[in-house]
């Protein structure tokens, strides 16, 4: 299942293939971008595993890449995951009784 990289919203209702003009219904983020692509890898040169792709400078903006393929389970951004993890840790180590959280 494909979900927005920025907010984690399900994109099940968004028609495939994703057009360059497609936006997330949850947060309005542009979807035809590097961050939503299965070739995106921030640890690689140009942040892309597809060597033939011409990398755009903005990885979060819509682009015309011919190699774009939406990544299953792109999920929420690392900020969203970090916020969830932080909330769980705070709940775990909180001295307040469970009913006061």
Structural domain containing residue 87: 1-94
Number of compact structural domains in the chain:
1
pLDDT band at 34 (very low <50, low <70, confident <90, very high): very high
- Does a structural domain hold residue 100? no
Domain-embedded: residue 19 = yes
State the chain's mean pLDDT as an integer.
84
Compute φ and ψ for 52, nearest 5 degrees: -90, -10
* Residue 101 belongs to a domain: no
Residue 92 banded pLDDT, cuts 50, 70, 90: confident
- Looking at the domain assignment, is residue 27 inside a domain? yes
What pLDDT, in 10s, does the model give residues 52-71?
999 888 999 999 999 999 99
101 to 22, 59, 70, 82, 93: CA distances (angstroms): 39, 38, 38, 19, 12
Within a domain: residue 78?
A: yes
Domain membership of residue 88 (yes or no) is: yes
If you average pLDDT over residues 16-30, what whole number do you get?
Answer: 94
């Amino acid at each position: 299942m494909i979900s927005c990289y920025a907010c984690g919203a399900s994109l099940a209702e968004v028609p495939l293939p994703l057009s360059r003009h497609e936006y997330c219904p949850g947060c309005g983020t542009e979807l035809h971008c590097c961050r939503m692509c299965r070739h995106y890898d921030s640890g690689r040169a140009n942040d892309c595993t597809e060597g033939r792709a011409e990398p755009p400078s903005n990885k979060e903006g819509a682009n015309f890449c011919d190699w774009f393929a939406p990544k299953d389970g792109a999920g929420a951004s690392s900020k969203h995951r970090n916020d969830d993890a932080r909330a769980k840790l705070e709940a775990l180590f909180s001295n307040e009784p469970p009913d006061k959280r």
